[in-house]
Amino acid sequence: MAKITLSKLRHSYYPNPKSPSDYALKEVDLDWSDGGAYALLGPSGCGKSTLLNIISGLLVPSEGQILFDGQDVTALPPDQRNIAQVFQFPVIYDTMTVYDNLAFPLCNRGRDEDTVRRRVMDIAEMLEVTEMLDQKAAGLSPDNKQKISMGRGLVREDVNVVMFDEPLTVIDPHLKWKLRSKLKELHQRVKATMIYVTHDQTEALTFADQVVVMQQGEVVQIGTPVELFERPAHTFVGHFIGSPGMNILPCQLQAGTARFGDHTIALEGPIRGEATGETQIGIRPEFVSLSDSGLPATVTKVSDVGRHTVVECNANGTRINAVLEGAAQHNTPEKGVDVHLDFRRDQTRLYVDGWLATDPQTSTEAAR
Amino acid sequence: MKTENQKAWFFVLPVLVLVAFNALIPMMTVVNYSVQETFGDNVFFWQGLDWFEQILRSDRFHAALGRQFLFTFLILIIEVPLGIIIALSMPRKGFWVPVCLVTMALPMLIPWNVVGAMWNIFTLPDIGLLGYFLNHVLGITYDMTQNPLAAWVTIVTMDVWHWTSLVVLLSYAGLVSIPDAYYQAAKIDGASNWAVFRFIQLPKMKTVLTIAILLRFMDSFNIYTEPFVLTGGGPGNSTTLLSIDLVKIALGQFDLGPAAAMSLIYFAITLLVSWLFYTLMTKDDLN
């Protein structure tokens, strides 16, 4: 188990990268503390798998360093880094039994038979696969296969970090949450540093204490699930996390206030620095409500998703979603009706060129 | 009420006719010959199973069958490992992939009798490139028309040259279908190269290798053209394989009855071995 530091990491799949777009990974600096549960979240092609393969040693980065507990491991091959990785598709050794599969990493490292037996039994019990130990691994169901590949990672006592590369892709939906909670439980028992790569926000937010959101080879925001939801540092995070994602409204700044069309929208607090560039207002649908006054809009679509209702509106050609919950759900407007939208002020933020540009109001200001 | 539709028969009919003419009718003719004796003029006498008994008891058949098994065994024991080794050392991506694939496929595209003729000329002691080199440069006496060992070395080498590519191409297809994750996982698990081969590559190649071995078995067990052109079964009878012997009996001596019985026995052996092999190789997949 170790603290992982990524320092000025850059990677390109081209031999002579020139422009920034040649880089699959653009300058990543990260510190991951020992025993934490982390998630790397981002759409396909954002560089998260590249980053994972660099940490595991399957790829050597073009520039930068990887440190495990302060020791430079950039040049070390995977087997000398003491890491474990679980892949998208379960990797199992078809011809071996479940027991032999779990014992394989230990046997390759020349551990004695007693140690191997004890570790395999421990892990099998933790994963609830004890009764399958004598079975051929080829005949298992996908979720059990994936459990075995996790087990092969956890069976070594000295793993620095266990990495998961979208491990639930091939698992049936009803088994996903089961495996997910199993993973969470394993993390608490084993206390190894774990990094979970996914494009599924639910998986990332339920698994991790800290989520790293990536886009086009860059880290956009690092934070707890709550932080990512409440204060997205970038419109991308706001849009990517949440269902539906954050509403983004183009706006103009006039004397310190934001104007959307001919309507002034109150922001959460003061604007940071000089706001030059493309300005946008960001507000989550959860904080948009229907009221008697406010921004006029027309309802274009209403979808009842059970626990809440999503009302899709159109204001000045911009789509704005509102999520109605509880009592508000009982008087949902119909399609085509004109409504007024009210934005909760402390959740209304300004973004300049995509990046967050407002600070929360201080308590003294709020009191005024 | 369920309506019976007999029209489907019309769709099966063409295949049925085709199979009848290219397999069933010729085969039944052979069965017909195998239980009768004829002295010409289309006069037949019932012979029962005498021909079968005669063939099964004949030393000549035993010798030819032994040579046939030896030949098939030799080429399999060389071609399969060699094919796997070549497939393993071929590049997986890049410019050289098509070059290697086409080069590998070339020997298989040459007609059987041309292969025989090529190797015949190639190994002639006085004018053949290989024959001349061995005899006059290295000083090894090598003449496949005189020496049975030289004849065997030549037909085995020729078959290896002609057909190893099949094993290579099939194994290669099996290898490239292995996802990278397997190799990466093996690296992380600290597996040696041998372990990667034994536990990842070989199991993933099993299906295609089964097909490759099956095809090579059937083909080599029925081989005729190449050894016929190359050695004609000689020197003496040393390279008279089953098919060559069969043709000698049927067309050389015109003993249609024994030849027919021998064909059926020959066919039964090929079928039995293929079936046994395939069943054994695939029995694990069923459970």
Query: Could you tell me the residue range of the domain that residue A70 belongs to?
Result: 4-230
Distance from CA of A79 to the nearest CA of B (A): 5
Whether residues A173 and A292 fall in one domain: no
Extract the tokens encoding A48: 């998260």
What CA–CA distance (Å, rounded) separates B44 from A128? 75
Q: What is the pLDDT of residue A364?
A: 55
Mean pLDDT, each 10-residue run in order, chain B (287 residues): 78 91 88 82 79 85 90 94 93 88 91 88 86 83 83 91 93 90 86 88 89 92 86 82 86 83 90 91 69
- Residue B120's SS3 state is helix
* pLDDT tens-digit map of B96-119: 999 999 999 999 999 888 988 888
Classify residue A236: in a domain, yes or no: no
Among B188, B202, B285, the strongest candidate for a mutation testing the A interface, having the largest count of A CBs within 10 A, is B188
Name which of B185, B187, B203 is nearest A94 (Cβ-Cβ).
B203
Closest residue on chain B to A92 (Cα) = B182
Classify residue A235: in a domain, yes or no: no
Is the distance from CB of A192 to CB of A20 less than 8 angstroms? no
ipTM score over 0.90, yes or no: no
In this prediction, residues A181-188 reach a mean pLDDT of 83
Whether residues A262 and A222 fall in one domain: no
Is the CB of B199 less than 8 angstroms away from the CB of A85?
no
User: Which residues are within 8 A (CB) of A253 and not within 5 positions of it... i.e. 6 or more apart?
Assistant: A259, A271, A275, A279, A350
Whether residues A86 and A16 fall in one domain: yes
Per-residue DSSP letter, A336:
T
Distance from CA of A279 to the nearest CA of B (A): 44
Name the architecture of domain B59-286.
Answer: Orthogonal Bundle (1.10)
Whats the size of chain B, residue-wise?
287
What CA–CA distance (Å, rounded) separates A305 from A324? 10
Q: What is the pLDDT of residue B215?
A: 92
Q: What is the domain count for chain A?
A: 2
Whether residues A260 and A225 fall in one domain: no
Q: Is B94 on the interface with A (CB under 8 A)?
A: no
What CA–CA distance (Å, rounded) separates A249 from B210? 63
Whether residues A180 and A280 fall in one domain: no
Whether residues A12 and A134 fall in one domain: yes
* pLDDT tens-digit map of B28-56: 888 888 888 877 777 778 877 878 888 88
CATH code for position A345:
2.40.50.140
Whether residues A209 and A256 fall in one domain: no
What CA–CA distance (Å, rounded) separates A249 from A237? 15
Q: Is the peptide bond before A250 cis (omega within 30 degrees of 0)?
A: no
Whether residues A224 and A298 fall in one domain: no
Classify residue A74: in a domain, yes or no: yes
Q: How confident is the model at residue A368 (pLDDT cuts 50, 70, 90)?
A: very low
CB-CB neighbors (< 8 A) of B188 in chain A = 56, 78-79, 83-85, 105, 153
Classify residue A127: in a domain, yes or no: yes
Q: Is B191 on the interface with A (CB under 8 A)?
A: yes
Whether residues A76 and A139 fall in one domain: yes
CB-CB neighbors (< 8 A) of A83 in chain B = 188
Classify residue A163: in a domain, yes or no: yes
Residue ending a domain, choose from A198, A230, A262: A230
Q: In the predicted model, is pLDDT for residue A51 greater than 90?
A: no
Classify residue A255: in a domain, yes or no: yes
Q: How many contacts does A have with B, using Cβ atoms within 8 A?
A: 52
What CA–CA distance (Å, rounded) separates B94 from A53? 22
CATH code for position A214:
3.40.50.300
CB-CB neighbors (< 8 A) of B182 in chain A = 91
Residue A256's H or E segment, with its range, is none
